[in-house]
Amino acid sequence: MATFTRRNAWMNGGTFANLDLFWYAKGVESMQALALDDPNSWWFFAAIHGQYVSLTEFPGWGFIAAPPQVPTSPVPSQVLIDQYWDQCQHQSWFFPPWHRGYLYALEAQIRTAIANLGGPADWALPYWNYFGLDDQYKIPPAFTSRTLPDGAPNPLFVSQRLGPKGDGDIYVEIPPASEACLSNTLFTGSNATTAPPGFGGPSTGFSNNGVTSGNLESNPHNLVHVDVGGFAPDQSSWGLMSDPGLAALDPVFYLHHANIDRLWAAWNGQGNNNPTNPNWLGGPAAIGQRAFAVPMPDAVAWVFTPSDVNSLSQMDYTYDDLAISINTLAPSALSRRLIFLGVSPMADVPLGAGSANQQNSELLGANEGALQIRSSGSRTTVKLESQVRSQVTRSLLGASLENLPDRVYLQVEDVRGSIDAYKLNVSVNQEPVGTVSLFGLRRASDRDGAHGGAGLNFILDITDIIDRIFMADALVADTLDVKIEPNHPVQEKATITVGRVSIYRQTQR
């Protein structure tokens, strides 16, 4: 039986009448009163996720507009920095478990602070379910009030929280943010219901930043970050939530991640399994890399692995609501697809048909040269290779339950730039195929960063579009038209480049 229950932040209208939020504010205030070099402080915890403490211009922490007044000293010892800072796991299968452990430690810190103030001993971190009914797509009002009920400054208020239009109106744009990833059935890998690299992310080592986000991370996680953080209209700065090196300074960060953690638990609740690979269960330490470590109250470190946080049943908390709003038991996507392709309707196509590891990906087409994203959007022509296109056509012609047709993915490769606060809307032949968030772009583009400036990759499922083209004209086209449009103007210093736009077929045998 769980000791603590994380509840919806929008209870009691998302105001301080919701005591979970009131006490959260008091706990944040207590942690913010501690120094940067104190492992129990708000600032130290933010730096565990990612930090720009020493940068000499924005996004350096010394250049963040108050509130909060972010300290840049005293800097902790190198031993502590090496053990704790810059640890967040992104574009990795460690994204869900690392953030679960991180939230667990932060929650314990806040609960201790609340208890010291005479607050409830069973306080638990609230979550922001932006997919909830009515106004829940908006940030709970407790985060936008400048004062607490007693008139004191509200520690949940952040001045550099700018929203999707950059005007201070904070909400999540739905769509494109969605819970569609909950219909996935594979944590890592792909099948008929799971686009690569899988619900939880690709197999990696320690990945403070990486290349390709998992499906939960990509949407909703990355989109929500950039929506909430936003950008300044003059692009001189951007919202804290828009950048991994700033994000955990914003108190709403933890409510967003509590919701991501809840979605992971809900996904498991549908019968979907986490990896059993020892290299996932044992974390990066299993391959000799940096271990996950977070400070618990009273100056003790919790060194944890994904196996320690593998399911809520292992933890001492739960959520008040683990129901999911999308119907994953509706006729499977594969069944609908086979019917669309003219295969006789069948009673039951198993969800997740198609195995995870036997699939082969093969390049089907690509554009020529790198592409610079302009404010008005950029177009490119993806040329299809005739032999590979014929293989796709044959696969679609011969589709059956025994010979599952190819799936087709658009890959936007090697995206580089210096500002994360963008979303890119991608369309193929004028049909929208998805929106991606550039959360993590800055770090992924650093040539001396962990991935040598490889940039970000985005994989978008365009199987439906290819099916429609096939049914309309038997896929005779030599090219596809791809358009990539930013959600707000790109200024010169925010150059965004795409290395290549390509299309892949993936066999399903």
Partner 1 sequence: MMLNGGEHNRITLIVLLISLGAWLLPPVGGTTFPAQLANWSLMVLAMMTPNLIAPVCHICARSFRHLRAHLVALFCLGYSVVWIATGSLLLSAADVMACHQAPAGPAIPQASLAAGLVLVLLWQCSPLKQLCLNRAHSAPNLEAFGVAAYTSAIRMGLTRGLWCTLTCWPLMALPLLSPHGHHVLMAVITLVVIGERLDPPEPLKWKLRIPTSLMKWILGQTRTWLQQPIEGQLLPPTVHHIGTYRIF
* CB within 8 Å of 461: residues ≥ 6 apart: 195, 407, 408, 409, 433, 434
> Which residue number, 160 or 191, has a Cβ lying nearer to partner 1?
191
Strand intervals (E) in 241-360:
292-296, 300-304, 317-319
d(CA 187, CA 132): 24
Q: Which of residues 217 and 414 has its CB atom nearest to partner 1 in the complex?
A: 414
CA dist 1 to 21, 57, 145, 442, 460, Å?
Answer: 24, 49, 36, 43, 40
Position 402 contacts partner 1 (CB under 8 A): no
Q: Pick from 409, 422, 458, 470: which binds partner 1 (CB under 8 A)? A: 409
Tokens encoding 450: 């962990």
Q: Which of 147, 273, 360, 418 binds partner 1 (CB under 8 A)?
A: 360
- Side-chain-facing half-sphere of 68: CA atoms under 13 Å: 26
Residues 240, 92: Cα–Cα separation, whole Å: 22
Closest listed residue to residue 49, CA positions, set 78, 8, 9, 90? 90
Query: Quick one: tokens of 267?
Result: 């996904």
The window from 29-37, 179-187, 232-240, 276-284 that contacts partner 1 (CB under 8 A) reads 276-284
191: left (phi over 0), alpha (psi -120 to 50) or beta: beta
59 counts as binding partner 1 under rule CB under 8 A: no
> Does 502 participate in binding partner 1 (rule CB under 8 A)?
yes
Tokens of 380: 């490119």
Separation CA 467–CA 98 (nearest Å): 38
**Sequence letter at residue 339:** I
Is residue 55 part of the contact set for partner 1 (CB under 8 A)? no
How far apart CA 183 and CA 509 sit, in angstroms, is 21
Applying CB under 8 A, which of residues 308, 321, 464, 481 lies at the interface with partner 1? 308
Contact residue for partner 1 among 133, 300, 323, 347 (CB under 8 A)? 300
385 binds partner 1 (CB under 8 A): yes
Near partner 1 by CB under 8 A: residue from 8, 219, 411, 487: 411
- Inter-residue contact 158 to 121 (CB < 8 Å): no
Which residue lies nearer to partner 1 by CB, 204 or 222?
A: 204
Asked if 110 and 27 count as a contact pair (C-beta separation under 8 A), the reply is: yes
The verdict on 276 binding partner 1 (CB under 8 A) reads yes
Residue among 243, 406, 413, 420 that touches partner 1 (CB under 8 A): 413
| x/- track of binding to partner 1 for residues 451-490 (CB under 8 A) | xxxx----x-------------------------------
Please select the residue that binds partner 1; options are 55, 291, 333, 339, rule is CB under 8 A: 291
How far is the C-alpha of 372 from the C-alpha of 291, rounded, in Å? 38
Helix segments in 163-251, DSSP class H: 215-216, 223-229
Instruction: Put residue 179 in one of left, alpha, beta given phi > 0 → left and psi -120 to 50 → alpha.
Output: alpha
Nearer to partner 1, 176 or 197 (CB): 197
Residues 80-109 that bind partner 1 (CB under 8 A): 80, 83
Site membership for partner 1, residue 56 (CB under 8 A):
no
**Options 281, 333, 401, 477; binder of partner 1; rule CB under 8 A:** 281
Q: Does 450 bind partner 1 (CB under 8 A)?
A: yes
Contacts of residue 237, defined as CB under 8 A and 6 or more positions apart, other chains included, come to 58, 59, 63, 65, 160, 231
* By the rule CB under 8 A, 293 interacts with partner 1: yes
Q: Which stretch binds partner 1 (CB under 8 A): 110-118, 159-167, 240-248, 273-281?
A: 273-281
Start-to-end CA span in the chain (Å): 43
Give the start-end residues of each E strand in 166-297.
Answer: 292-296
Instruction: Note whether 37 binds partner 1 by CB under 8 A.
Output: no
Closer to partner 1 by CB, 160 or 207: give it: 207
d(CA 346, CA 482): 35
**Residue 244 in contact with partner 1, rule: CB under 8 A:** no
Positions 135 through 174 that interact with partner 1 (CB under 8 A): none
CB of 254 to partner 1, least distance (A): 19
Instruction: Give the binding-site size for partner 1 (rule: CB under 8 A).
Output: 71
**Mask of contacts with partner 1, 184-223, x by CB under 8 A?**
------------xx----x---x-----------------
Tell the smallest beta-carbon distance from residue 431 to partner 1 (Å). Answer: 21
CB of 361 to partner 1, least distance (A): 4
Does residue 401 belong to the site contacting partner 1 (CB under 8 A)? Answer: no
